[in-house]
Amino acid sequence: MHSIQKVVTRKRKGDDDSAWTYWVTRPVTERLAMVEELRAEYHGWTYESEPRLSRICRVIRRA
C-alpha cells in the first residue's frame, strides 16, 4: 500500500491560484472524471485490469 504524505499549503485570500481558478470553472462531471482518473492512476489499474471479487458457488445439500 502506498503511503500518502500530508501536505499543507497556506495562502492568503487575495493570492492568485491558477489551478484552483481553472478547476472552479470546469463542470462538475469533468472534475469528477479527473478525480476518478487520478484515483485509478494512484492504484495502478484501469477498468480493463480492475480487480474484482471472485464468484464462488458451492452446492451445500442436494434434495
Question: pTM for the complete prediction?
Answer: 0.49
Which residues constitute the domain of residue 20?
16-46
Decide if 28 is inside a domain.
yes
pLDDT above 70 covers what percent of the chain? 78
Q: Quote the CA–CA distance of 28 and 55 in Å, as a whole number.
A: 35
Burial-class residue 28 by CB neighbours within 10 Å (0-12, 13-18, 19+): exposed
Decide if 6 is inside a domain.
no
Decide if 53 is inside a domain.
no
Decide if 9 is inside a domain.
no
Number of domains making up the chain: 1
Burial-class residue 40 by CB neighbours within 10 Å (0-12, 13-18, 19+): middle
Decide if 62 is inside a domain.
no
Tell me, what's the pLDDT at 49? 64
Decide if 21 is inside a domain.
yes
Tell me, what's the pLDDT at 32? 94
Task: Give tens-digit pLDDT for 2-15.
Answer: 677 888 888 787 77
Mean pLDDT for 20-37 is 91
Decide if 55 is inside a domain.
no
Residue 7 or 44, more confident: 7
